[in-house]
A = this chain, B = another copy of it.
């Protein structure tokens, strides 16, 4: 029987699968819906299977999931119960569930040492040094995720209230945000009380836009956010002794470098490949050699 390798990248909005043959060449891809194993494991399972079938079909093959060895990078993988539930029900020959960060690292830096920062709604840093993985930060919105989209958006709302209260000068950014709430600070407070991290993050594009036009408040927020990222990258550099590739991923990854310290800006490079490619590589690494040895 032919052996196939599946890489799967599953998150809160979509699930992507890539199929590789025994040589490691990607021969088909598939996409489906949300696959958050924490909030809805059964839907996640259905979408994982759906994306995988489509990858087989795109390769011109009759889907035969039991012939595939897979590595799945899934958000929510840090909760043991969800992982056990999903693991026991996966349709593959063999499989391994890792974090979405681990497949992103593999995709971005390949097999060498190095590190990534993923700066999106949240913020997490993953480094590989002498084959050992280290995760830094990424503890969520309330007490971590400094510099993230959610925190920047929250700070933009806070800055708007400070301007409303004449504690800081009004700028175009804070004027625009207050206007969005009908210039009613109580509307800002009502919004913030129920806001999820993603809701705060909705204001972050505005911060970058206004900073590009020299807005003082926007620049202050980005300098604070960038200082937090610089500090975390310093910790990453201490771990990796400044060796290997360093990539900044996530929605804000390409936007932050102009605001970062020169020592990091100069070191950041483009990722080698995306997270899905990383998942395929890990599937081959994890299950390819083992099967050869036991064949």
Binding site for B on A (CB under 8 A): 136-137, 139-140, 142-144, 146, 154, 157-158, 161-162, 165-168, 185, 188-189, 192-193, 195, 231-232, 234-235, 238-239
Contacts and interface: CB of A to CB of B under 8 A. Distances in A.
Nearest to A193: B142
A144 B158 CA distance: 6
Nearest to A135: B165
**How many copies of the polypeptide does the oligomer hold?**
2
Contacts of A192: 140, 142-143
B154 A195 contact: no
A139 B159 CA distance: 12
Contacts of A238: 166
Nearest to A140: B189
A72 to B, nearest CB: 22
B231 A166 contact: no
A-B pairs, top 8 by smallest CB distance, nearest first, are A142-B192, A143-B192, A167-B235, A143-B158, A143-B157, A136-B165, A166-B235, A139-B189
A195 B165 contact: no
A273 to B, nearest CB: 27
B239 A167 contact: no
A188 B139 contact: yes
Contact of A144 (B139, B140, B189, B231): B189
Contacts of A140: 189, 192-193
Contacts of A144: 158, 161, 189
Nearest to A188: B143
Given A137-B167, A142-B195, 16 more contacts: A137-B161, A137-B165, A139-B161, A139-B188, A142-B154, A142-B189, A142-B193, A144-B158, A146-B162, A165-B232, A165-B235, A166-B235, A167-B231, A167-B232, A167-B234, A167-B235
Contacts of A162: 137, 146, 231
18 contacts: A137-B162, A139-B161, A140-B193, A142-B154, A142-B189, A142-B195, A143-B154, A143-B157, A143-B158, A143-B161, A143-B189, A144-B161, A144-B189, A162-B231, A165-B235, A166-B235, A166-B238, A168-B231
